[in-house]
Structure 1
Amino acid sequence: MLYTVFIGLSAFFALYTGLRLIRPSRLGFWARIVAWCCLCYAWGSIPAEGFLRHAGVESRTIDVIAFGGAVAFGVASLLLVLLLSRDSLLLLWHARRVLPRRRPRPLHDASRRQFIQGASGTGVMALAGVFSGTAMYGAMRVPAVRDIQMPVHGLHPALDGYTVVQLSDLHVGAFLGVDWLEGVVERANAAGADLIAVTGDIVDGSPRHLREQIEPLRRLQAPDGVFGVSGNHEYYSGISRWLPVLESLGLNMLENRSVRIRRGEATLLLGGVSDYAAHRFGRQYASDSRKAMLHGEDTDFKLLLAHQPASVFAAEKAGWNAMLCGHTHGGQVFPFMAVVSMVQPYLAGLYRHGAMQLYVSRGTGFWGPPFRLGAPAEISRVILRRA
């Protein structure tokens, strides 16, 4: 159902963009044909790639074609936003026609409107190009380490300064490969964490196709270990195949379970839950914060790893003190933060939810178009502090 809706919206947006930009242009016949083909490729590439991957069709050639399509989709999306903004302003400008006028309308008013529409169309395309280049640079580079001080009332003195480096939404697949992941691993290892947490959406594709690209994760290291939880994309890619592979790479996958970590005289309970929507793939995968807490109530601090912010409601009821998650990408590309905020309780940053603290990472990689605009990627370094 959602796939059909997405295809329908893509077709509508392609038609709207073409009618508002290509049709009124002075392009020749064949140039118009090429422009319409590029527009259809841009809006149809993401649905086509999703269909192929769902059917199990994977290859390096498809990856290259998909990357080009994802870039085109990103450009088309920004172009649509700018075009809608321009048309809204033009609509307001044309609305003057229904207002009473004291002087006759100039004869050259129609030609002025035509000039404004043509010039603004050129400006929209130029801005889309500038924004696209900036957004692509922001997505493809290895992100910086971002420090987050998490103040905790009553934190045991031995846990003051305890540091967790969080990687989230790596989305290793067709677009982000070995070199990028090696840079992320190197930067995460150098961040001086007590432990490293990977909060889901690690891969996009099958183990057969991505085994070489995911290999750098083996080099992640921290004194108290490297831990992970599943995200929705692990389920799309085959959770039963990926869990043993991720474990073999050194990730201790906390699927509805927890471990105790000693720090001096204090004990930290580190737990993890499967993805919030995992129950759709089988009841055995359902996220369970209470099960993850089992026999850990007597610990000094309880930190839960989850993928989606929506897991916070069950986590608070189960008695967790804090939660680290991702999934939202911080909206990834402006102005789509507004859309993400409508479907997720928290977007990005540090929040207080009842008695809990919650940190939502903007993510380390990206999904869909290789763009980040207004929501920079991050390697999060969360530091517990006595409040």
Structure 2
Amino acid sequence: MGFVVLVFGVVALVHYYLWRRLVRATTLPGRTRRVLTWILLGLGALVPVTLVGSRTGWGHFLAWPGFFWIAVMFYLLVFLAALEIPRALALFALERRSRRRSEAALARRLADRRRARAAEPVLTGEPVPVRTGTHPGTASAAESPDPEPSARGGEPEAIGRRLFIARTAAAVAGVGALATVGYGVRTALGDPVIESVKVTLPRLDPRLSGLRFAVVSDIHLGPLTGTGHSERIVRMINSLQADVVAVVGDLVDGTVAELGRLARPLANLESRYGSYFVTGNHEYYTANGPDEWVEELGGLGIRTLRNERVEIAHGGAVLDLAGVDDVTGTGTGTGGTGTVPEGPDFERALGGRDRSRSVVLLAHQPVQAVQAAEHGVDLQLSGHTHGGQMAPFNLVVPVQQPVVAGLGEVGGTQVYVTRGAGFWGPPVRVGAPPEITLLELRA
């Protein structure tokens, strides 16, 4: 609950900042400002409705506009934040110029006043005629101080320049955000990139050299994807002619009743030694938990490794392939039949094995490699990070995960993290295109 409050609080603060920069700074008080304020309030309310609706299964018709606005909101924030320094410098230059003009105007007024006084006749005791249009005790036009800058138009000119600076910054941010999101939508909805990777395992039996894994994660079947999304992924995986297909979590964002039809193309996956799946955090976010999807995938010919391992016999040698549940399962009470423990159990998956064999572990989150290293895992295959999905989130992911994308190492265990073939939330990918990996083991 605390996390939800934090997220909504951040969203509220972001929208207040956007209002300050895009509405208040670019408009004068009046009808236009009121209309834009209400529009921004409506878009702000759309964010929590979309986030809650995507989790609970209702409000799917709001998914496209809601998630699209979340992406635009994020990049408006990024661009406006980047423009803060140039904007501040421009305002500083404006204030400095206005101050110089005010000082120059004051100097001119003082000089005019001195000249006017110098031109006055010297009093000789003769009566001074009263000028027409003046009253006793009222200063003459030459003696009266000049009007204030606001009356002469100086202040409106400064306001106009401030509006120009604010509107220019808003326009640059708006164009930049929309262009970035447009590029990101095209990337996210396009074909995944095929990444070919060779990983050398020092303890690998030479007879296993050349064993190939098709690795895919974070497909995220949901309200923004159709059957074509899963059909394309299956077609691309099959074209790789891999020995093993590994689906490392976050397959779905909903229940079997809602999304079962979108998963049916997975029955057509082809590989020499089978297709395997491990749960991701999003499987635990569904209303019915992961168990129904484990059963559904079994009917599609995909085996779920829930804290267990299998043997892959290839070229006269054997490789251990293990899988553990996602850490999100810990304490959820969704242990299934009772024979499957809640959350990851590395001892159950890896204990008692022949240590002379190399072992490849499927685990959704890269951070699980910390425990994998303690159990002597040679290679862990993971997803979860999306490679950051929308830059500059890739700079934030390392706070939580040891590897963002690609091949890394944790405690002596090599970890390959695929960027995922789908997307979560906004259908946008910037700097992290969708990926299917063809990973080949080398001795």
Q: What TM-score results when the alignment is normalised by the length of structure 2?
A: 0.80
Q: How far is 1:117 from its partner? A: 2.3
Segments of structure 1 that go 5 or more residues without pairing to the other structure are: none
| SS across alignment from 1:277 | helix
| Residue of structure 2 in register with 1:255 after alignment | 306
* Alpha-carbon offset, residue 177 of structure 1: 1.7
**Residue 332 in structure 1 maps to residue 333 in structure 2:** no
Offset, 1:126: 0.9
- Paired with 2:397 and 2:41, the residues of 1 have a C-alpha distance of 25
2:219 and 2:252 in contact (8 A); partners too: yes
**Shift in Å at residue 235 of structure 1?**
0.5
Flag the 1:26–1:94 CA change in 2: closer, same or farther, 3 A.
closer
Question: 1:88 Cα deviation (Å)?
Answer: 3.3
Query: Equivalents in 2 of 1:385, 1:340: separation in Å?
Result: 29
**Within the alignment, does 1:65 sit opposite 2:62 as a pair?**
yes
Written as runs of structure 1 = structure 2, the 5 A alignment for 1:116-265 is 116-237=165-286, 238-265=289-316
Separation in 2 of the partners of 1:103 and 1:17? 27
1:289 corresponds in structure 2 to 346
Q: Offset of 1:46 from its aligned partner?
A: 4.0
Say if 1:46 and 1:66, in contact at 8 Å, map to a contact too. Answer: no
Q: What is aligned with 2:50?
A: 49
Distance in 2 of aligned mates of 1:382 and 1:186: 17
Matches within 5 A, 1:362-373: 362-373=419-430
Q: Following the alignment from structure 1 to structure 2, what is the Cα–Cα distance between the partners of residues 115 and 137? A: 33
Matched AA of 1:115: F
Partner of 2:431: 374
Number of aligned pairs? Answer: 380
Say if 1:322 and 1:358, in contact at 8 Å, map to a contact too.
Answer: yes
Instruction: Specify the SS of the correspondent of 1:211.
Output: helix
Indicate the percent of aligned positions where both proteins have the same amino acid: 33
* Counterpart amino acid of residue 357 in structure 1: Q
In the other structure, the counterpart of 1:15 is: 16
Alignment correspondent of 1:88: 85
Structure 2 unaligned spans of 5+: 103-156, 336-340
Q: Distance in 2 between matches of 1:88 and 1:381?
A: 44
Q: Secondary structure at the match of 1:262?
A: strand
What is the CA-CA distance between 1:29 and the residue it aligns to?
A: 5.8
C-alpha distance in structure 1 between counterparts of 2:291 and 2:203, whole Å: 40
Q: Which moved more, 1:289-298 or 1:66-75?
A: 289-298
1:52-100: CA deviation from partner (whole Å, max 9, x where unpaired)? 355x444xxx3232122101111111111111111233235556799xx
1:199–1:228 CA contact under 8 A, matched in 2: yes
Task: Tell me how far apart the structure 2 counterparts of residues 44 and 328 of structure 1 sit (CA, whole Å).
Answer: 27
1:178-217 deviation digits (Å, cap 9, x = unpaired): 0111011100111121110000000001111111111111
Give the RMSD, CA atoms, in angstroms: 2.4
Which residue identity is paired with 1:308? Q
Offset from partner CA, 1:247-281 (integer Å, 9 cap, x none) = 21221000100000111221110000000221031
Q: Deviations over 1:9-59 (max 9, x none)?
A: 1111111101210223349966555544443444443422333355x444x
Structure 1 residues 265-276: aligned runs within 5 Å: 265-276=316-327
* In structure 2, C-alpha distance between the alignment counterparts of 1:296 and 1:327, rounded to whole Å: 27
2:376 & 2:343 partners in 1: Cα distance?
A: 19
- How far apart, CA to CA, are the structure 1 residues paired with 2:331 and 2:14? 30
Aligned counterpart, 1:77: 74
**Aligned residues of 2:98 and 2:158 also touching (Cα < 8 A):** no
Aligned to 2:145: none
Q: In structure 1, what is the Cα distance between the partners aligned to 2:301 and 2:38?
A: 46
1:105 maps to what in 2? 100
Q: What whole-Å deviation, never above 9, does each CA across 1:142-185 have from its counterpart, x for those lacking one?
A: 21211111122242211111110111001101111201110111
In the TM superposition, what whole-angstrom CA distance separates every residue of 1:300-328 from its partner, at most 9, and x where no partner exists? 21000000011001100011111000101
2:258 counterpart letter in structure 1? H
Aligned residue in 2 for 1:343: 400
Instruction: After TM superposition, give the deviation of residue 333 of structure 1 in Å.
Output: 0.5
Write the distance in 2 (CA, Å) between the matches of 1:67 and 1:222: 35
Cα 1:235–1:297 shift into 2, 3 Å:
same
CA contact (8 A) 2:244 2:273 kept: yes
Task: State whether structure 2 residue 356 is matched by structure 1 residue 355.
Answer: no
Partners of 2:70 and 2:30 lie apart in 1 by 24
Report deviation, 1:343: 1.8
* Distance of aligned partners of 1:4 and 1:317 in 2 relative to their CA distance in 1, 3 Å threshold: same
* Post-superposition offset of 1:241: 2.2
- 2:207 counterpart SS class: helix
With 343-352 and 253-262 compared, the bigger mean Cα shift is at 343-352
Q: Is the 8 A contact 2:26 2:166 kept in 1?
A: no
Deviation at 1:285, TM superposition (A): 1.4
2:402–2:410 CA contact under 8 A, matched in 1: no
Going from structure 1 to structure 2, the CA distance change for 1:162 and 1:131 (only over 3 Å counts) comes to same
Does structure 2 retain, via aligned residues, the 8 Å contact 1:148–1:381?
yes
